[in-house]
A = this chain, B = another copy of it.
Amino acid sequence: MARSSRTPYVILGVLGMAHPRRLSGYDIKQAIEGIVSHFWSESYGQIYPELRRMAAERLVAAHVTPTGGRRKVTYTITARGRKHLAAWLKKTPEPGPKRDELTLKIFFGSQTDAGTLIGHLKKQRDHVQALMDQNRHWLIEADNARDPCSPYPLMTLRGGLAMGEAFVTWADETIVELAQLRKGKMP
């Protein structure tokens, strides 16, 4: 079975961006829960075992700090790890699993009432708008910052914003359409 998990690459990417800072598993998880969280997620159950495997394969270097009784391990990316990451970055990205529950429920809309769907859409629209506010905030912060930060995360932010706008527009239109359906159907 071909190894196809993306977890090691996310870890390598984060370690590569942080270099030469040493990160613990916890740090990596925190990093992923930042901007990346808008389009990716990993759990501790993935990260910690994967870090060990990767250390065994020399993709990362482990630095053990015996801080009293409990061992504390931090990691940096190795030259081998960089090569591994670079090779993956060059491969054309495969579309992930599509599982959009909101759209699915609308698709099955004839089997529930329009009011329910309107509720779902409103809730999701509000949620997306909150995320967009956060994105806008980050973009403005980046603009005001003295040192210009890497342009790549900004591109992903703008992408998220563009998708969000399209979603909100569609949601609002669909809410109107559903409201009309509801009025029309009334006997």
Chain A residues at the B interface, C-beta cutoff of 8 Å: 6, 9-10, 13, 16-17, 35-41, 82, 85-86, 89-90, 92-112, 116, 119-120, 123-124, 150-153, 155-156, 158-160, 162-163, 165-167, 169-170, 173-174, 177, 181
Contacts and interface: CB of A to CB of B under 8 A. Distances in A.
A154 to B, nearest CB: 9
A89 B107 contact: no
B108 A152 contact: yes
A106 B17 CA distance: 13
Give the copy number. 2
Given A159-B174, A166-B162, A167-B163, A40 B110 contact: no
A99 B101 contact: no
A86 B99 contact: no
Nearest to A158: B170
Contacts of A17: 108, 110-111
Nearest to A88: B105
B116 A151 contact: no
Given A93-B124, A101-B95, A107 B162 contact: no
Contact of A93 (B105, B111, B158, B165): B105
A98 B170 contact: no
A94 B120 CA distance: 10
Report the 6 A-B pairs with minimum CB-CB distance, sorted nearest first.
Answer: A166-B166, A109-B152, A96-B99, A93-B101, A39-B100, A13-B108
